[in-house]
Structures are given as structure tokens and as C-alpha cells.
């Protein structure tokens, strides 16, 4: 690692497992002070302790991203302690597969609460701090499901189409303040707790560890509104390009 994020403060949601965990690890190893957020408290604590034991700056922040009060409290605490919020990676997400007529209102509301309300709340909470410092980067995890519909994924597709709309609008809101806002799709089958439930056999044969797409997150975390901004990024393609330039 080359300390590409040295001196930056980053909030990463969904940090106990999967892509969120991989991103939190990579950010910490690149020098960021990471505030790792998840509802899975035991796994979050274990991961954070392991990173701190390796000399990295990681704080476990158990919180429900769909809880407005909890999110506001979290962001205020980070901004007070660190002095700024430089990077927000909205990674937390859930999925279920049911046809639209079998999707209950409660299930719909729960998925949209985590996948779309959560990123909105985090973007809303960090925006004043990024506007104040006139810098920052927001990375919202999207999906191929944000561009095409899939049977059995009415709620999930709706949440990811929503992430695209949210990202484009927030990008316009924060562009005058120098803040980069992008959405990102893994771009390659990635092994996570979610994909273990939803991927078919063909995808399982070629899936990759989430670590392989983390260079893209690091690169986006360093951007400003005059760099990569207001884009839908393929994490695999960008990570491969970075590796071709010597990234490890």
C-alpha cells in the first residue's frame, strides 16, 4: 500500500462483511482513519480490532443506516472527533428474491430503508461538513440491477435505480463545493453473503473476492468534482486499469 488516503477520514457502511469490509480494510491500509459502520456488532468489532492490532486507525460504529437519528449522531461524532468527513462509502445493502406479487409491504420497506433511505441519510448528514471544507468524495454502491430489471428483484432493482437518481442529484448539489459524487457497480461476480444467496452456478464458478475491486474505491475516494465525478463506475474495469498502471 502507498498511503493514498493518508490524512483522510472515511465512513464506510456495511463494513462487517463483504464489499464493505474489503473497502474498510483497503481504506485503512491506505492510511485513512476509518469509521466502520454496521449492525452486525460482533463481526464489526472483531474486524476493527484486527485492523487496529495491525496499526491502522479504525473505529467500530455499530449503527442502523436507516435510523435518521443514529446517522446524524454518528456523523456529528465523526466530524467532531476527526475535524472533517472526507470520504463516504455507502456500501451497506440487503437483497431478497421474490416476485412482485409475493413481496410484502414490510419486506419492500425494509429493503428500501437499508438500500436507499440509508444512503440518502448519510449523504444528507455529511453534506454540510463537506461543503464547509469544500472537499470530499461520496461513493454509492450501485449494481447492474440499477440499469436492467431482473425477475424476483422488484424491490432490489427499485432501490438501485433509486441510488442512481440519488447519486446524480447529489452530484449536482455538491459540485459547486468541489465534492466528487459517484455510483459504482462491482462489474464482476463478487463473493459476498448476498451473492451466496442470489448467484447462480455459472456466476459462482467465476466470482472473485471483493478485495479485487477495492482499488476503484480508493481512486474514487481521492477525486474532486473536477476529476471523476457524477459517473456510474465499473469497479472491476477501473481496478484492472489501475493494476495495469502499477497498483497493487
Q: What is the per-residue pLDDT across 162-219, written as a single tens digit (0 to 9) for each? A: 999 999 999 999 999 999 999 999 988 787 777 666 767 777 777 788 999 999 999 9
Beta-carbon-side half-sphere exposure of residue 24 (alpha carbons within 13 Å): 32
- The residues assigned a catalytic role are 156
| Averaged pLDDT score across all residues of the chain | 95
Domain that holds residue 96: 9-244
State how far the Cα of 100 lies from the Cα of 248, in Å rounded to an integer. 43
Domain count, the chain: 1
Q: Which pLDDT does position 1 carry in this prediction?
A: 63
State how far the Cα of 75 lies from the Cα of 57, in Å rounded to an integer. 17
Average pLDDT over residues 27-44: 98
State the cell numbers at 58.
479504525
Residue 4 in any domain: the answer is no
Q: What is the per-residue pLDDT across 129-143, written as a single tens digit (0 to 9) for each? A: 999 999 999 999 999
Residue 90 in any domain: the answer is yes
A 10 A CB-CB count for 182 gives: 23
Residue 114 in any domain: the answer is yes
Does 28 have pLDDT greater than 70?
A: yes
- DSSP for 164-187 reads HHHHHHHHHHHGGGT-EEEEEE--
Residue 127 in any domain: the answer is yes
Residue 35 in any domain: the answer is yes
Q: What is the per-residue pLDDT across 40-81, written as a single tens digit (0 to 9) for each? A: 999 999 999 999 999 999 999 999 999 999 999 999 999 999
CATH number at residue 171: 3.40.50.720
Does 246 have pLDDT greater than 80?
A: yes
Amino acid at each position: 500500500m502507498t498511503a493514498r488516503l493518508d490524512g483522510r477520514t472515511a465512513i464506510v457502511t456495511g463494513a462487517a462483511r463483504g464489499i464493505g469490509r474489503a473497502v474498510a480494510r483497503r481504506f485503512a491500509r491506505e492510511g485513512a482513519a476509518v469509521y466502520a459502520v454496521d449492525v452486525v456488532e460482533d463481526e464489526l468489532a472483531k474486524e476493527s480490532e484486527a485492523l487496529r492490532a495491525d496499526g491502522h486507525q479504525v473505529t467500530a460504529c455499530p449503527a442502523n443506516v436507516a435510523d435518521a437519528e443514529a446517522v446524524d449522531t454518528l456523523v456529528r461524532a465523526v466530524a467532531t472527533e476527526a475535524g472533517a468527513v472526507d470520504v463516504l462509502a455507502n456500501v451497506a445493502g440487503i437483497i431478497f428474491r421474490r416476485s412482485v406479487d409475493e413481496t410484502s409491504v414490510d419486506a419492500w420497506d425494509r429493503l428500501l430503508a437499508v438500500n436507499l433511505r440509508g444512503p440518502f441519510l448519510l449523504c444528507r448528514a455529511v453534506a454540510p461538513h463537506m461543503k464547509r471544507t469544500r472537499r470530499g468524495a461520496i461513493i454509492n454502491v450501485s449494481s447492474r440491477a440499477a440499469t436492467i430489471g431482473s425477475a424476483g428483484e422488484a424491490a432490489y432493482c427499485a432501490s438501485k435505480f433509486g441510488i442512481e437518481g440519488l447519486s446524480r442529484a447529489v452530484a449536482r448539489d455538491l459540485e459547486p463545493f468541489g465534492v466528487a459524487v459517484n455510483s459504482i457497480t462491482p462489474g464482476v461476480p463478487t463473493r459476498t453473503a448476498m451473492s451466496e444467496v442470489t448467484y447462480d452456478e455459472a456466476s459462482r464458478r467465476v466470482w472473485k473476492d471483493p478485495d479485487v475491486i477495492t482499488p476503484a474505491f480508493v481512486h474514487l475516494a481521492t477525486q474532486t468534482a473536477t476529476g471523476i465525478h457524477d459517473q456510474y463506475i465499473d469497479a472491476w474495469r477501473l481496478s484492472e486499469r489501475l493494476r495495469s498502471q502499477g497498483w497493487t
